[in-house]
Amino acid sequence: MYRLLIVDDEIDVAEYFRRIFEVKSKLPLEVYTSYNATEALECLNKTRIDIVLSDIKMPKMNGLQMYEKIKEKWPKCKVIFLSGVLEFDYVYESIQNRDVRYLTKLEPTDKIISTIKEVIDEIEHNYKEIVEMEKVQKKIKEAFPLLQNKYIQNLLYGICDSHDAVQKRLDELEIPINIKDSLFMIGGIFDNLPDDISLSQLDKNIYSLKSISSKYFDRCYNSVFYISEQKYFIWLLQQRKGNVPIKNHQVKISGLLEYIQCSIRKNLDITITFVHETSEIYISDIPKCYSIIKRRLGYRARNLNESILTLPDSCSNEIVNDMDKVNKINSFKQLIRINELEGYLELGQQESFFSLLNRMVDNLLLVENTEDNNALEIYYRISCVLLKYINEWNMIGQLAEIIDIHKLTHVDDHRSWQEAIEYLKNISQIIFDIHFKNEYIWSDNTIAIVQKYILENLDNDLSLIVLAELVNLNPSYLSRLFKSHTKINLYDYILDMRMLKAKDMLLKSGEKIQDIAIAVGYESAPSFTRAFRKYTGKTPTDYRG
């Protein structure tokens, strides 16, 4: 959407053009109106305006004087001048600037609309200028390491789409992995770094590690480097196409890791421990393998500095602990998207939330033991997400009137996992219902405040900007909110209220037309008379009888 500001000291003229662009033009416009140059500049100070359509001859400050101030502060704003007559001095001065267009108010409506469309096309073209696009592309390139790291994190946690979508995203981010081919995973962590190490020194160490490891790995493998928030590292290796096949990857990788350890020790005066999977894995094995390597890095690898530990069996076949032998569910696999679930809740994306929640909890139906550790972990992790949201929005009182909150944190209150699952789904639905109800109440209250202010200030400035500031909302958002709740445009509502009061005053009081005009927000009797006749089909005098 583009923002158009119409400036004319004749209110009915300004509103005439406003209605043309809101109703007839079908252009992507948010329309604002001001009734003098000073008011227009105040509007420009408060919100970004793309196009100004202004009367050229106005009292106190004319359109050309206003234009100079606009260009000082908002050089990209486009200006179109309107005038009722051709006045040579104004026209001559305005056409000296290529950014200015000049139209008369006698131009056909279609001509005025087409001129605005031409300006919109110019703005869109400017947005697509090659220089700007190059800057954007440069910034994207600069952000590539962060984007790559984030996507590798998704792969490690199993948050990914179909194979085709994964390969497409890998290619877009220039991550050299072919998901059809096997790969190897390596984990690493610096040994015993000092507690007071500076962030700059740590960053230097990490960058050096990435550079050194690439130097050795890239001779034989395509390598991908990932750094976690906890400052441990993961490499994904895939043999380069066209290279002589490596007979023993375990020996090759172990040898490369020794070279890297030696180089790190000599160049950085620190040591690093590695854990690597000796068997080939595939894209679907990554989350499980990552979980095991991370666990080894956190415990076994810390007992002896500068170690190179291997996983004896393929990650996909390793039995992590005795419970995994008997459990029908895997809490790691079920919970890898817990942060995504929390995000859907916070954003109010109900359909996506329940789709993911169902996938996370439905396997609990396979569990018969109510004390199953994996099932308990899944239940309580989800309950913590819900409890956090309940506390943040202070919903405990509203929920307590509808459902037993105690069960959220006491799974033993449920007689079976099926009952526990239904409880999680029910309380989630109630949370969404309360949230949307609260949002609707807030919207109703906001509209009521605006309507009350309008009724009490019909003789004052009721511009969209003033009303938006009253309720601390963006002008465009307030306009859409008002329309969605009342089924009437905000401007039309203001006009209805002004005309309603004017009719009442005309019939029940003997006040002068001039005084009635001021009482309902018009600066002069002629402006009020034109607006009233357009609204009712009668002049104020005829209506009064």
Residue 314 has pLDDT above 70, yes or no: no
Query: What is the CATH number for 515?
Result: 1.10.10.60
- Comparing C-alpha atoms, which of 20, 16, 72, 13 is closest to residue 41? 72
In a shared domain, residues 204 and 303: yes
* pLDDT higher than 80, residue 89: no
User: Does residue 350 fall inside a structural domain?
Assistant: yes
Q: What is the mean pLDDT of residues 103-122?
A: 87
Same domain, 124 and 147: no
Verify that 202 and 242 share a domain, yes or no: yes
Same domain, yes or no: 177 and 265: yes
Q: Can you give the pLDDT at residue 86?
A: 52
In a domain, 112, yes or no: yes
> Half-sphere exposure of 31 toward its Cβ, with a 13 Å CA cutoff?
24
Number of domains in the chain: 4
What is the domain extent for residue 397?
331-439
- The answer to whether residue 444 is domain-embedded is no
Of 97 and 25, more confident: 25
pLDDT band with cut points at 50, 70 and 90 for residue 323 = very low
| Confidence bin at 330 (pLDDT 50/70/90) | low
Looking at the domain assignment, is residue 7 inside a domain?
Answer: yes
pLDDT at 321 over 50: no
Judgement on whether residues 180 and 307 belong to the same structural domain of the protein? yes
Residues 223 and 286 in one domain: yes
CA distance 18 to 115: 15
CA dihedral 139, 143, 145, 150 (to 10 degrees): -150
- Gap between the Cα atoms of 379 and 417, Å rounded: 9
Residues 160 and 121 in one domain: no
Arithmetic mean of pLDDT, 471-493: 88
- Whether residue 350 contacts residue 432, with contact meaning beta carbons closer than 8 Å, is answered with yes
Q: How many other β-carbons are positioned within 10 Å of the β-carbon of residue 286?
A: 22
* Cross-strand bridge partners of residue 98: none
Evaluate whether residue 50 is within a structural domain. yes
- In percent, the amount of the chain with pLDDT more than 70 equals 91
Instruction: Give the residue with greater pLDDT, 349 vs 133.
Output: 349
Closest CA to 5 of 61, 56, 47: 47
115, two tokens:
């001129």
What is the pLDDT, as a whole number, of residue 316? 43
Same structural domain, 165 and 266: yes
User: DSSP label at 348?
Assistant: T
Kindly state the helix (H) or strand (E) to which residue 7 belongs, with its residue range.
strand 2-7
Looking at per-residue pLDDT, the higher value among 364 and 497 belongs to: 497
- Alpha carbon distance 431, 446 (integer Å): 22
Task: Give me the phi and psi of 39, to 5 degrees please.
Answer: -65, -35
Q: How confident is the model at residue 263 (pLDDT cuts 50, 70, 90)?
A: very high
More confident residue, 76 or 244: 76
Q: 47 pLDDT band (50/70/90 cuts)? A: confident
How buried is residue 341: exposed, middle or buried, by Cβ count under 10 Å (0-12/13-18/19+)? buried
**What is the separation of C-alpha 362 from the centre of its chain, rounded to a whole number of angstroms?**
31
94 or 494: which leads in pLDDT: 494
pLDDT tens readout for residues 213-229: 999 999 899 999 999 88
Residue that terminates a domain, selected from 410, 439, 468:
439
Range picked from 55-69, 250-264, 277-291, 318-332 for highest mean pLDDT? 250-264
The winner for highest mean pLDDT among 87-91, 96-100, 343-347 is: 343-347
Question: What is the predicted pLDDT for the residue at 138?
Answer: 79
- Do 119 and 145 belong together in one domain? no
pLDDT on residue 182: 92
432 and 486 part of one domain: no
Higher pLDDT, 390 or 438: 390
Does the residue 178 lie in any domain?
yes
**Mean of the per-residue pLDDT values of the chain:** 86
Same domain, 270 and 375: no
DSSP 190-257: ESS--TT--HHHHHHHHHHHHHHHHHHHTTTEEEEEEE-TTSEEEEEEEEPTTSPPPS-HHHHHHHHH
Give Cα 106 to chain centroid, integer Å: 44
- Say yes or no to pLDDT of 320 above 50: no
We report the CATH number of the domain holding residue 80 as 3.40.50.2300
In-domain check, residue 122: yes
Is residue 38 included in any domain, yes or no? yes
Domain end position, chosen among 128, 155, 172: 128
The identity of residue 328, as a single letter, is K
Kindly state the average pLDDT of the residues 491-499.
93
Coil, strand or helix at 188: strand
> Are residues 490 and 480 in contact, defined by beta-carbon separation less than 8 angstroms?
no
Residues 407 and 539 in one domain: no
Of 306, 302, 298, 315, the C-alpha closest to 264 is 306
User: pLDDT class for 399, splitting at 50, 70, 90?
Assistant: very high
Give the pLDDT score at 322: 37
| Domain C-terminal end among 72, 100, 128 | 128
Average pLDDT over residues 423-450: 90
List, in order, residues 6 or more apart from 484 with CB less than 8 Å away.
none
pLDDT tens-place string over residues 127-170: 776 567 777 777 777 788 889 999 999 898 887 778 889 999 99
Across-strand partners of 234?
187, 226
